[in-house]
């Protein structure tokens, strides 16, 4: 039975932040279990900063079904956690079940990946104090207010956390996340 990776989504999750890791972990032979506030279909979005703009433009994108609700997740059943970006983390960080899930992964030292606005979840869970964390620069304040150190790089690993700025960095931080998962799986054997 393949090891399971938990992928966090909600409405307005960024499509490339979500789909790249979804298929990458499956490609490596892991089972990717998608979790949201409820087990239902969520609406993803595309984010880009058009030339001449100072802020992100958002457009509707693909849909993805969550297999399981946060309330039903048993963190001990999963090898790793991926927290996607987009606007979803703005409201997901208020979900007490997601906060407990996130804290559990950090307490157990299991691999966690966060991209872009996913930092809002790990910051709200109070698990990044003293850690170096990458995120999109407009979320740097979330890192510093939560006791972390913002790093403007495409891949930052600090302990069991690997983070990236945006989907443009998928190839950087996902490579490291896959190494972390392989290391964690080898320890289980």
User: Greatest CA span in the chain, whole angstroms?
Assistant: 52
Which backbone phi and psi does 125 adopt, to 5 degrees? -75, -5
Checking if the pLDDT of 1 tops 80, the result is no
As annotated, the active-site residues are 117
- Supply the CATH classification number for the domain 4-188: 3.40.50.880
pLDDT number for residue 120: 98
Instruction: Specify the pairing of strand 68-69 against strand 112-115.
Output: unpaired
Structure tokens at 78: 């999963």
Checking 138-144 for CB contacts under 8 A at 24+ apart, the result is 143/119
Give the pTM: 0.96
Average pLDDT over residues 43-66: 92
Output the CA–CA distances (angstroms, integers) from residue 14 to 34, 41, 113, 120, 180, in the order listed: 14, 14, 15, 14, 23
pLDDT number for residue 136: 95
For residues 118 and 84, what is the distance between their CA atoms, to the nearest angstrom?
Answer: 5
Average pLDDT over residues 101-122: 98
Residue in 8, 16, 15, 52 with CA at minimum distance from that of residue 34: 8
Average pLDDT over residues 74-99: 98
Q: Where do the structural domains in the chain lie, given as residue ranges?
A: 4-188
For residues 68 and 72, what is the distance between their CA atoms, to the nearest angstrom?
Answer: 7
């Amino acid at each position: 039975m393949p090891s399971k990776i938990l992928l966090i989504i909600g409405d307005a999750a960024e499509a490339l932040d979500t789909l790249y890791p979804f298929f990458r972990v499956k490609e490596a032979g892991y089972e990717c279990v998608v979790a949201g506030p409820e087990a239902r279909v969520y609406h993803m979005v595309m984010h880009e900063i058009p030339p001449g703009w100072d802020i992100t433009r958002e457009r509707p994108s693909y849909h993805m079904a969550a297999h399981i609700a946060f309330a039903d997740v048993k963190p001990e059943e999963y090898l790793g956690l991926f927290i996607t970006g987009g606007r979803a983390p703005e409201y997901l960080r208020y979900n007490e079940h997601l906060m407990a899930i996130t804290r559990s992964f950090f307490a157990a030292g299991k691999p966690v990946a966060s991209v872009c606005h996913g930092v809002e979840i790990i910051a709200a869970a109070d698990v990044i104090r003293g850690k170096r964390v990458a995120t999109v620069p407009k979320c740097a304040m979330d890192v510093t207010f939560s006791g972390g150190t913002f790093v403007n790089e495409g891949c930052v690993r600090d302990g069991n956390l690997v983070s990236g700025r945006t989907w443009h960095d998928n190839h950087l931080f996902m490579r490291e996340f896959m190494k972390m998962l392989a290391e964690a799986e080898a320890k289980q054997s």
